[in-house]
Amino acid sequence: KAGVTQTPRYLIKTRGQQVTLSCSPISGHRSVSWYQQTPGQGLQFLFEYFSETQRNKGNFPGRFSGRQFSNSRSEMNVSTLELGDSALYLCASSFTAGTSKWQETQYFGPGTRLLVL
């Protein structure tokens, strides 16, 4: 079974621009989560989606947004980029049987490395 795929793998943008990152989960997985990884802050949770609904959002400004499509693929968007948005953005997917308790193992993609100049 193919793993989690993320596109693009590398991206260079300038301050003020916006960017859209894409994530395709493992086939059959319905939950997609996004994390930001930086040397200073480590791994921080951005948001989680299940069946096109955002169930949780991390402590990030409104410039960070996401969505999930009916095929479980997900995108995240960052508008008005700042230098501090330079990071590795990781997407993870899990099966999630639809129960109220979120327990399934998350599998991560290779990430999109964003550099903001």
Given the rule CB under 8 A, which of 15-23, 65-73, 78-86, 95-103 is the region that contacts another protein? 95-103
Q: How many residues bind another protein (CB under 8 A)?
A: 24
DSSP 74-97: EEEEE-S--GGG-EEEEEEEE---
58 touches another protein (CB under 8 A): yes
53 touches another protein (CB under 8 A): no
From the number of C-beta atoms within 10 Å of its C-beta (0-12, 13-18, 19+), residue 87 rates as buried
List the one residue from 12, 18, 27, 43 that touches another protein (CB under 8 A): 43
List the one residue from 18, 55, 61, 71 that touches another protein (CB under 8 A): 55
Amino acid at 70: S
Please list, in sequence order, all residues whose beta carbon lies within 8 angstroms of the beta carbon of residue 52, skipping any fewer than 6 positions away.
Answer: 67, 68, 69, 70
Tokens of 37: 């990884």
Residues in contact with another protein by the rule CB under 8 A: 4, 31, 33, 35, 42-43, 45, 48, 50, 55-56, 58, 90, 92, 101-103, 105-111
